[in-house]
Structure 1
């Protein structure tokens, strides 16, 4: 600010005109000499009273411009200033949105981690199923904001278990029929818990429907086939796979081969056949 001709125009907030001979800034003087520029104009860019920078004009022909031409130059610079200001505002909005999304991500991961701490039986489960669910979703060309909702839904899928009593959730053996009926309420508990959070609504498909089955025998709504949202159909396969291949207090982990055979056997019964197909393609590269 205040350095050479451009800095002076910025400080004084007015249009300045200098000839090649009057130019006092070495780099611009050399440029004018090499390119044959005779005159130089510099206009401060001001929007809403705030200085944004300067616009520089170089002219090869020496002309005596009248007041109308200077008014035009001032108007042109004003339009450039508005455009730059709008671009800055858009950039700030985008940056704020990205910061907000990061905060959402971190909050959701913290909630997921809190559930894993409560239910040691499934420690690490949410992170594992989320990673694989996202990979399969990408194969179905789910991307951008929709993929983010899939990720959030996978991380939060069992949040409803916070409403399940410890004597049922942490029971080290098979549940009784009465206990099982209570456990089956966790998808609706999770949905009711988070549906008041507007930004999470698109992510709640997985929470509510990941225990639905392709043949209509699942819960809580008994949906069938493509009535079940795609994200929940994808997650259902991944959830069962992870449950089978990791140890539980009431049974040892299955081998990957045995678990794969089970997944295939449930294609068209528990699982969407198309999802099973994509799942198998991905698992071939992992096993």
Structure 2
């Protein structure tokens, strides 16, 4: 029937006993943690034995500085709180000095303490299990973002958000390594009150972050203000009031990618599981940065390869112009006009790329036509014309094996097809002719008519326009003719 008492539990992080709950006068003594083996509570915890006393103030195990603070005439029992695995703390039950616990009551208190210990152990195991599940869920979410996105800022923000939530820290950031000047530069951050951290840079080996990279191991600073000049970014974080710091190098495939930093404004009490989670999050950030760099490098390599492909194609087209004695700039002009016409029809950027390549290579099949036919100034005889008409088929046979040019075949293979089905080589009719070929056919004829040739002078623009309009629905797609006239048919329009 006691109303005064307390429960003091061991803090695994500090290794000290701290009052968890109290009733009555023991609640006045909650300020100082107790070292096991020190004082009454510490001795009971260390020995694992219950101690019953008639007067706490005069008990030999009570610390001298505590005797005058304890109420006179109060005794009771200090009982170790055991679980099946370990001692968790100490229970104090206080009663006035005129009362005394019987042996039966002491046995009952020991049983109660043991029940409390087992309940605390179960609660601790449940809490630990839930915490681990939350950690696993957080790591899984980060993995999913890494697997589904190349947006580095999104991935790093996800990592940092979970760092704050799961590690219980006030702020965190990622510094990425810039290999050229050998500096660490701000990449992402969470939880900062000011934006000073965004302007921060660190050289390798300098400051806490630089040391983490150079030593390739976690750097822990329990009291940032005491590090003075060693904390290079102190002025930028002056308004943050951070106390404790961890910096973890981001390592991927043996290479340093940056540093994950966490900051807290009060002392932390990390356990091995906390440190393991911190390092795992750092590993995920490293993978994200590595993947982003690989993707960026791949994009750069693809761009360089694409530019090299296009430069080769342009070289082929110039060589064909020279061999066919085409007027200077023919291929460039028909390519530009076809692109403009295609854009007017809402063709996608990707398809425009294929149209451009096809226009540049529109007559590549003529490489298979003998010079005496290709360069003949007189009218071709039937046999020669039959050979000339094979150049679209030759273009197909040349380009089809080249994978990146397969989608550019429409113009080289089909630009001599006619709307009414009388063209070659397949005799396609109407919309069975690919749109790119229908667009190019008009442009090619227009440029040929309005350019000087060895056997004739260039036609006036008006005459060429009239000629093309007259072939609408016969040689050319009527809709394409209309759009061509709208864009280029005006005498003042620039072709």
**TM-score where L is the length of structure 2:** 0.56
Quote the offset at 1:127 in angstroms. 1.1
Aligned to 2:244: 39
8 Å CA contact retained: 1:5, 1:24? no
- Whether the 8 Å contact between 2:251 and 2:257 is mirrored in structure 1 is yes
Partner Cα distance (1:111, 1:187) in 2: 16
Superposition RMSD in Å: 1.6
Give 1:10's aligned residue: 213
Q: Does 1:20 align with 2:224?
A: yes
Alpha-carbon contact 1:45-1:81 (below 8 Å) kept: yes
Q: Distance in 1 between matches of 2:250 and 2:218?
A: 10
Gaps of 5+ in 2: 1-203
Aligned to 1:95: 300
CA contact (8 A) 2:389 2:425 kept: yes
Equivalent residue number for residue 371 of structure 2: 166
Shift of 1:74: 0.7
In 2, the alpha carbon distance for the partners of 1:48 and 1:23 equals 34
Higher-Rg structure is 2
Say if 2:415 is the partner of 1:210: yes
Distance 1:234 1:121 in 2: 20
Distance 2:453 2:236 in 1: 75
8 Å CA contact 1:130–1:155 kept in 2: the answer is yes
- Asked whether the 8 Å contact 2:224–2:231 carries over to 1, the reply is no
C-alpha separation in 2, matches of 1:268 and 1:62: 84
Structure 1 contact 215–224 (Cα < 8 Å) conserved: yes
User: Helix, strand or coil for the counterpart of 2:367?
Assistant: helix
Match of 1:257 among 457, 462, 467: 462
* Greater Cα offset, 254-263 or 166-175: 166-175
The separation in 1 between residues aligned to 2:476 and 2:381, in whole angstroms, is 25
**Residue by residue, what CA displacement relative to the aligned partner does 1:115-152 show, whole Å, maximum 9, x if unpaired?**
11212234321111111111111122222322111111
| Structure 1 residue aligned with 2:477 | 272
Please say which of residues 124-133 and 53-62 is displaced more in the overlay: 53-62
Q: Is the CA contact 1:44–1:53 (under 8 Å) kept in the aligned structure 2?
A: yes
Residue of structure 2 equivalent to 1:76: 281
1:259 offset after TM fit, Å?
Answer: 0.6
**Cα distance between partner residues in 1 of 2:341 and 2:230:** 60
Between the aligned partners of 2:378 and 2:211, the Cα distance in structure 1 is 81
The count of corresponding residues between Structure 1 and Structure 2 is: 287
CA–CA distance in 2 between the matches of 1:87 and 1:141? 33
Greater share of strand: 2
Rounded to whole Å, the distance in 2 between the matches of 1:49 and 1:26 is 27
The Cα of 1:169 is off from its aligned counterpart by 1.1
Deviates more, 1:57-66 or 1:198-207: 57-66
> Is there any run of 5+ residues in structure 1 with no aligned partner, and where?
none
Q: TM-score, normalised by structure 1?
A: 0.95
**Structure with higher RCO (Cα < 8 A, 6+ apart):** 1
Match of 1:140 in 2: 345
Would you tell me which structure has more helix in proportion to its own residues? 1
Offset of residue 265 of structure 1: 1.3
